[in-house]
Amino acid sequence: MSNNPKFYNAALAGALGGASSGYLTNPDPASYTSQVTASAAFAQALDTALPPNVDAECEWPILFAICINYWQGRFPVSADVASYAEEVAAITALFTQALTVTDISQCGE
């Protein structure tokens, strides 16, 4: 169970999208099992590190953008959640600072 489903999905989509950017060539879904498993571990690590937020409607696109850009041309390879501590710390720092210094209170209006 995720801490925040929107943050988990943003991290998962960012890892999958960034890592597979320009590299999708195999039509066999099973060939992507390790990439999906590793991306899910990264998403779990990041979701667990972020504070729960009841209203993530405005914040998740920021997290997605950070994650997809971080993983562009890189490949999450470990299914061990703890192995993403360094990436999670850096992404969490940028995400937290973005929310601190920007005004997203107008989201949806």
Q: Kindly state the tokens that stand for 30.
A: 């099973």
pLDDT digits (tens, 9 = 90+) for 9-18: 999 999 999 9
**Whether 3 contacts 47, CB under 8 Å:** yes
pLDDT digits (tens, 9 = 90+) for 25-46: 889 999 999 999 999 999 999 9
Backbone angles phi, psi at 57, to 5 degrees: -55, -40
Q: 53 vs 11, which has greater pLDDT?
A: 11
CA distance 69 to 54: 25
CA distance 4 to 53: 7
CA 3 from centre of chain: 13
Domain boundaries, the chain: 5-100
Q: Give the predicted TM-score (pTM) of the model.
A: 0.89
